[in-house]
Structure 1
Amino acid sequence: MNLLEAAIMGAAYTIVFLYFIGEKIIKVDFSGLLKRNWKSTKCKKMLAQWKGPWQGTNLQGEIRSAFNMVLLPLGKADKGFLPARMDMTFRRRIEQQIGLLERQKLCREIRLIDVVPLPKNSFRHWNDDGREWRESVLQCSALERLLPKEGGSPVHVVYRKNAYLRLLQSRHIRNCDRKEKRESYYANQTTINCPSCGAEVKLKSQQTVCPYCGGVIQCEFYDWQTEVFEVYEQMGDELLRVLQLLLWGALQYVCLFLCLWLIKDTQISLAAGVGAAVLVLAAAIAVFSISYGKQEKLEKEIVRYSENYLRTCINEALYPDGNYPDLMDYSVGTIRLKRVVNTEEITRITAQVYISETYLPQGRKPYTRKYKRTLVLQRARYPQRRKRDGKFFTERECPSCGANFVPDENHCCSYCGYSLQVDNTKWVMQTNKEQKRYKIYERNKSCI
């Protein structure tokens, strides 16, 4: 079979395969052509919202309040609207962003429409790292604008048709409560024993007055603190299936074309082409599975490994002071472990980190820079082992309840149960000279 015939026949068989497969897995939807789904129509509706971004939505009140803790300070560009309980790293990011907006006399407004909460109008809960976590994801269409505070036309406008808003929060779990494994620890926490007289007091707000002794009880320990807030656009499920089907069709066409051109027998060439495409696809899946399994194996080699805490340490190491004039926002995304080396005292890891930075230059539109970087970090191998040298027991303020930190037998705050992180739990990034020395040592070690 000549070149032209092989190309035509390969294309014909590929189109037939794609048609029969696509008919079963792809649902054709023409609702995007309706006027109510046009970009101009949705933007007009969002700009007409005078009661806030939740106008016309049946969103659960707790989810709405959690998102407002971030959307309101950004919309007003005022640090005074920030809640009291926030993760320190996240607070530094938000304060830096608000500070940059204040210097340029701008505010960041985010309006939403067609909000669909995932999962069904509730949080997703789990327990990890001695904390209770909850996450909420909103699927919607979003209009993000940078507006001058004095009024006027927007400086920058971004419309996201398939937008997602993700909010991640956590709260500490008392050491005494960790003995009993539960799905949710403080969801139904309505009463507490007064620390002054011991009476049982019903909690009604963050600050409650004991009716027996008049003591003021602060119950901020049970409040959620925000860890992550993201606004991004993601490809729809149907479009993703179409792209996957087209990729499979391209692979199928190449295999069929080569087999039809090189093999004279048509039936044998068709069978060989389909078989070759299946083998290539299976090989790609196998490589992905091996890579995923390698990541899990490396994570198990690290004692008390926590990706959330590692991401926090990387944020602190890459942006120690936050004095970047044009940097509006930054985040550490996917972390891929490349190597783990354990000694008797320390654990040293090599990780590939994907970083995203958003800049807002004076008088220019914001832009985003994404890149990956390989880092070498180290930490004590057994961070739960603490030296009783007196430094850990010095009097300090508890970062959770604010009381003088007097640790109990489990090295936790005797008042609220917060576990104080010590220095040997923190991942420390090596400098360039240390990284070069470590790489030379590893190279010489492998040669031996």
Structure 2
Amino acid sequence: MDLSVALIIAASFAILCTFHIGKRILTIDFSEYSSKNSKKAKLERLLVKKGTPLQNSKIRRDIRKAFERILIPLGNADQDLLPARMDLAFRNKIVSQINRLNRNKLCRRIYVTDVVPVPKNDFETWNDDGREWRESVLKCSTLERFESTEDNKVQHEIYRKNSYLRILQSRHVRRTDQKEKKKSYYNDMLSITCPSCGAGVKLDSQQVTCEYCGAVIKNEFYDWQTESFEIYEAISTNLKSFLQLLVSGSILFLCVFLCLYLIEDTEISLAAGVGAAVLTFGGIITPIICGKIKQEKLAGKIVRYSENYLRACLNEHFWENENDKDLLDFSVGTIKLLKVAHTEETTTVTADIFGTKTFLPENQKPYTEKFKKRLIIQRARYPEKRKADGEFFAEKDCPSCGANFMPDENHCCSFCGYGLQVNNAKWIVKKNQ
């Protein structure tokens, strides 16, 4: 077939197929390009004076409070405002970030508008490794400003139109409660009736005082412990689908064009072109699917594996071994397992770790660098097998969450699950390749 004719037929066929599929998977919304969604209009909404960062955001109160307990301390550069319940490594990271801001006489204010919770106005919850987890992601527009604490002058700002705020929290589930398979364990303990006067009492700490009669109530309430907070920008789902559709259409066009040009029979060439496109798609998708299956199999070889806990251990390791005085923040992202090996006592894992580091040099703009490290990490093969522990005292503070150390039947902190003397579930970095 002639070159120009083959081009026209292949282009027409690819466009028709792409258009037909696009109608089904894409949502056409031109309101995104309206004046109210312009950068100028969004900046005006972002800078409207608010009492708290997420005031009037129309999201659930517990979601709003979870985010504001991190946003407010950063905005004021005041570590005294941090919540009591935080993962130890995460607390150290935030405290160091605040100290770095104070040395530069700056605060990090994050202004938020057009908030859409994902999933819809709720937490996503799951259980693993004896902990109950919940995660909330807010799709929004943000303006991140580094402002002087002396004269409120803006030193640097980052505008993100398609921004996401993510918070991850967890709490320990007692072994006796784990026998009952539930999606959520302690939601019914958020409020009780005061045994002294009968008034309703909200449980928001280990010890509360009834505001009506003054009775002091100690309880087994399990408060949420903040594990991670992130702010990042990503393309919208609709745009991502459009780009995938565009790539697919281009592959289809190329395959059909080559077959039309090389094969004289039009029907056979079209069929061959579609077949070649399908094979090409299969060649692209198959390694991705196989990679995911391999990751699941490797994770399944590790007893009581929790990626979130591994990420917390890695954050702690990187933090302890980072010497750059300009480091403001860092984040461990994707963890790709490469190899899992066992002995009678230990599990050794080789993994590629991907993440980012943010630096704030004095009197300069912050900048971010990506990093990749290959680590060999190790922990006990069966972390539930513990050596005999010494005496525990209730008046001790847990070094992980700061609560009064009240041991459960495994001599772990009743509030966060930390083992005071022996914590053989912890991942230790043995080698940095």
User: Is TM > 0.5 for Structure 1 vs Structure 2?
Assistant: yes
SS at match of 1:222: coil
Segment of structure 1 superposing worse, 271-280 or 119-128: 119-128
**Which one-letter code corresponds to 2:126 in the other structure?**
W
Superposition deviation, residue 224 in structure 1: 1.2
Secondary structure of the structure 2 residue equivalent to 1:385: coil
Contact between 2:186 and 2:221, CA under 8 Å: does it hold in 1?
no
- CA distance in 2 between partners of 1:193 and 1:177 (Å): 24
Query: How many residues are treated as equivalent by the alignment?
Result: 424
CA deviation string 1:269-303 (max 9, x = no partner): 11111111012112322222221111111111111
| Partner amino acid, structure 2, of 1:11 | A
Residues in 1 aligned to 2:355 and 2:326: alpha-carbon distance in whole angstroms: 16
Residue 117 of structure 2 contacts residue 136 of structure 2 at CA under 8 Å; is this kept in 1?
yes
SS in 2 for 1:356: strand
Q: Is the 8 A contact 1:175 1:417 kept in 2?
A: no
Query: What's the CA shift for 1:82?
Result: 0.7
How far is 1:109 from its partner? 0.9
Q: Secondary structure at the match of 2:208?
A: strand
Q: Are the aligned partners of 2:147 and 2:154 in contact in 1 as well (CA < 8 Å)?
A: yes
Question: Which TM-score applies when normalising by structure 1?
Answer: 0.86
Q: Give the C-alpha shift of residue 126 in structure 1.
A: 2.1
Partner of 2:290, secondary structure, is helix
Structure 2: unaligned runs, 5 residues or longer: none
| TM-score, length basis structure 2 | 0.89
Q: Distance in 2 between matches of 1:274 and 1:120?
A: 39
Q: CA deviation at 1:404?
A: 5.8
Question: How many angstroms does 1:118 deviate by?
Answer: 2.1
* Cα gap change, 1:301 to 1:205, in 2 (>3 Å): closer
Taking a change above 3 Å as real, the CA distance of residues 43 and 219 of structure 1, as seen in their structure-2 partners, is farther
What is the aligned partner in structure 2 of residue 103 from structure 1?
103
Match of 1:420 in 2: 419
Q: What are the residue-to-residue correspondences of 1:123-134 with 2, within 5 Å?
A: 123-134=123-134
Aligned residue identity for 1:116? V
Deviations 1:106-135 (A, max 9, x none): 111111111112223222222222122222
Pairwise CA distance, 1:75: 0.3
Q: What is the deviation of 1:234?
A: 1.9
- Alignment correspondent of 1:171: 171
Of 123-132 and 201-210, the range deviating more from structure 2: 201-210
Quote the Cα distance in structure 1 between the aligned partners of 2:302 and 2:369.
31
Given that 2:255 and 2:274 are in contact with CA atoms closer than 8 Å, whether structure 1 keeps it comes out as yes
Match runs of 1:202-281 below 5 Å: 205-206=204-205, 207-209=207-209, 217=217, 222-281=222-281
* Structure 2 counterpart of 1:420, one-letter code: G
CA distance in 1, matches of 2:228, 2:136: 11
User: Could you tell me which residue of structure 1 aligns to residue 37 of structure 2?
Assistant: 37
Q: Which residue of 1 aligns with 2:94?
A: 94
Change (3 A) 1:379 1:55: closer
3-state SS of 1:165 partner: strand
The residue number in structure 1 matching 2:361 is: 361
Q: Partners in 2 of 1:193 and 1:205 — Cα distance?
A: 14
Is the Cα–Cα contact under 8 Å of residues 172 and 221 in structure 1 kept in the other structure? no
**Quick one: distance in 1 between partners of 2:424 and 2:274?**
56
| Distance change >3 Å, CA 182–CA 234, structure 1 → 2 | same
Structure 1: state its 5+ residue gaps.
Answer: 436-448
1:318 Cα deviation after fit? 2.0
Give the corresponding residue for 1:14: 14
Aligned to 1:438: none
Give the aligned partner of residue 376 of structure 1: 376
- Counterparts in 2 of 1:208 and 1:153: CA distance versus 1, 3 Å: closer
Instruction: Report runs of 4+ in structure 1 exceeding 6 Å deviation.
Output: none
Q: What is residue 443 of structure 1 aligned with on the other side?
A: none
Q: Relative to structure 1, is the Cα distance of residues 409 and 101 closer, same or farther in structure 2, using a 3 angstrom cutoff?
A: closer
Partner SS state of residue 291, structure 1:
helix
* In 1, Cα distance between equivalents of 2:405 and 2:252: 68
Hey, what does 1:444 align to over in structure 2? none
Matched residue type, 1:393? G
Does the 8 Å CA contact 2:171/2:416 hold for their aligned counterparts?
no
**Residues 353, 372 of structure 2: 8 Å contact kept:** yes
AA aligned to 2:419 is L
Percent sequence identity over matched residues? 49
Change over 3 Å in CA distance of 1:369–1:425 after alignment to 2: same
CA distance in structure 2 between the partners assigned to 1:214 and 1:176 by the alignment? 32
How many Å apart are 1:369 and its aligned residue? 0.8
Distance change (3 Å), C-alpha of 1:403 and 1:226? closer
Amino acid at match of 1:237: T
CA change 1:101–1:355 in 2 (3 A) is same
Q: Deviations over 1:3-36 (max 9, x none)?
A: 4443343223222322232233323221123211
Instruction: Tell me the secondary structure at the aligned position of residue 90 of structure 1.
Output: helix
Q: CA deviation at 1:203?
A: 5.2
Residues in 1 aligned to 2:357 and 2:383: alpha-carbon distance in whole angstroms: 31
What is the CA–CA distance in structure 2 between the aligned matches of 1:204 and 1:425, rounded to whole Å?
30
Is 1:296 the counterpart of 2:293 in the alignment? no
Greater shift in the superposed pair: 184-193 or 13-22? 184-193
Deviations 1:189-245 (A, max 9, x none): 134999xx9xx995555333489x998555585221111111112211221121011
Compared CA separation, residues 214 and 305, structure 1 to 2 (3 A)? same
Name 2:390's counterpart in structure 1: 393
Contact 2:73–2:81, Cα closer than 8 Å, also in 1: yes
CA contact (8 A) 1:92 1:322 kept: no
Does the CA contact (< 8 Å) of 1:171 and 1:225 recur in 2?
A: yes
1:280 and 1:238 mapped to 2: Cα distance? 24
> Within 1, Cα distance between the matches of 2:50 and 2:13?
56
Q: Distance in 1 between matches of 2:121 and 2:136?
A: 9
Range that drifts further, 24-33 or 373-382: 24-33
SS of structure 1 residue aligned to 2:28? coil
Q: What is the CA distance between 1:398 and its match in structure 2?
A: 4.7
| CA distance in structure 1 between the partners assigned to 2:20 and 2:214 by the alignment | 75
CA distance 1:65–1:27, shift in 2 (3 Å) = closer
- Which residue number in structure 2 is paired with residue 320 of structure 1? 320
